[in-house]
Amino acid sequence: MSNCVYKIETPNGLYVGSCKSLKRRKQSHKNFINKKDYKIYRNNIDFTKYIFSVLEENIEDPLELRKREQHFIDELKPPLNSRAAHSTLTHKEYMKEYLTRRFNCDCGATPLTQNRARHFRSKKHETKIEEIKKIFQV
């Protein structure tokens, strides 16, 4: 079984996902839960309450796979999915958004996110940070 869209019905609601290899994805879910930090939860999880099923399979094109996943997310509105599988932003829109995004630096400036590294090396940033350090005596 490969390139499929699947759903997991859990006691906490539905989850929809897609994968290249269902076997591998099942394994990665298992590995995740087997991690030390989750052992405490694992013992409290009743795996019989988790129902894994395939919604669609053998979707060759990876983009189509994402689209089909998004289709089921839109249709089923699974509460456990936190992000969109296939972003509705086009590449152009995304780049525009990315190129104009700014961040709030500790020095008080709001430089473009893409210039973050350059900003950190700038004299202006250094001077401001030194001032702030003096003010707060850190």
> What residues make contact with Zn ion under the rule CB under 5 A?
105, 107, 109, 125
Under 8 Å CB-to-CB from 20, ≥6 apart: which residues?
Answer: 2, 3
When the beta carbons of 4 and 107 are compared against Zn ion, the nearer one is 107
Q: How far apart are CA 113 and CA 96, in angstroms?
A: 12
Residues 53, 41 contacting (CB under 8 angstroms): no
Residue for token pair 């004299």:
123
Q: How far apart are CA 48 and CA 71, in angstroms?
A: 27
When the beta carbons of 85 and 107 are compared against Zn ion, the nearer one is 107
When the beta carbons of 84 and 132 are compared against Zn ion, the nearer one is 132
Beta carbon of residue 109, minimum distance to Zn ion (angstroms, whole number): 5
- The tokens of 96 are what? 């525009």
Beta carbon of residue 100, minimum distance to Zn ion (angstroms, whole number): 18
Q: How far apart are CA 57 and CA 5, in angstroms?
A: 6
Beta carbon of residue 111, minimum distance to Zn ion (angstroms, whole number): 7
Beta carbon of residue 102, minimum distance to Zn ion (angstroms, whole number): 12
When the beta carbons of 7 and 125 are compared against Zn ion, the nearer one is 125
